[in-house]
Amino acid sequence: MTDTKKVLSFAVELGDILLRNGAEVYRVEDSVLAILNSYDITDCDVYVLSNGIFASADEVTEHASSMIRHVPMYPMHLARIAALNSLCREVCAKNKSIEDAWEKLAEYKKLPGYRLPAMIIATGIGCGGFAYLFGGTALDGVIATIVGCLLRIFLHFEAGMNNSKTVTNVLGSIVISILAFAFAFTGLPIHYDKIIIGGIMPLVPGIPLTNSIRDFINSDYLSGSIRLIDALLTAFCIAVGVGIVITIVQLCGGGAYL
């Protein structure tokens, strides 16, 4: 006989980790339901929000079980999502027992991200590329690359301060703007605005905005609204940070650069 509580616990835990690492709401719901159904638990309900999971199984039997999880929003980790999707398929195909799957789940939960040097290089190249793409010169791209590398270093150390996402985005955009103006004040023939545009790209909430649209398309209006508000708040914080520095430069007589 299937242990309903054991299967439900595993399914919700897998869904929890998926959701924490940026998976879409419909993907989490499908994964939890697929695991339950693969163990012949068809009397079940799963409701997933962008920051919570509600699940129940076998409600009309003596094996009834239900779970609720609060899932805070975390940075995305696509490698974990891919690994968990593969694990879900293995469990559904009965190629792996629940006990073995729990061990793999614990392993995937601790799957490390990219190393800091790789993140610094990737962020720098991305910022430089966007600065050039938005009309900057080759020199603008080089400066934006340097700014992007410094931004990644700043974000790495700032993460250890446990600040809120709002504070992080404001501080990050301030750092970018200060660096852009610092290079501009050296007299180099650069466009500070293109450098700022390229530099803020790592902070821009592209994935949350895309996921919110996908949630709306899948009729998950509440989750879509939550992600959309998160994306808009992030964009607002970036604008505030950049606006603060530009305003200070104007007040200090740097109008020639604006």
> What are the structural domain ranges in the chain?
4-109, 116-257
Q: Is the pTM of this model over 0.85?
A: no
H or E element, residue 54: strand 52-57
pLDDT in tens, 47-59: 998 889 999 988 7
Q: Give the pLDDT confidence score for residue 16 in this predicted structure.
A: 93
Q: Please give the Cα distance from 206 to 138 (Å, whole number).
A: 25
Q: Give the pLDDT confidence score for residue 11 in this predicted structure.
A: 92
> Which regions of the chain are under pLDDT 70?
1-2, 254-258
Strand pairing partners for 56? Answer: 45, 66
Length of the chain in terms of residues written: 258
Q: Give the pLDDT confidence score for residue 1 in this predicted structure.
A: 45
Q: What residues contact 53, with CB distance under 8 A and at least 6 apart?
A: 12, 15, 16, 19, 28, 32, 46, 47, 67, 68, 69, 71
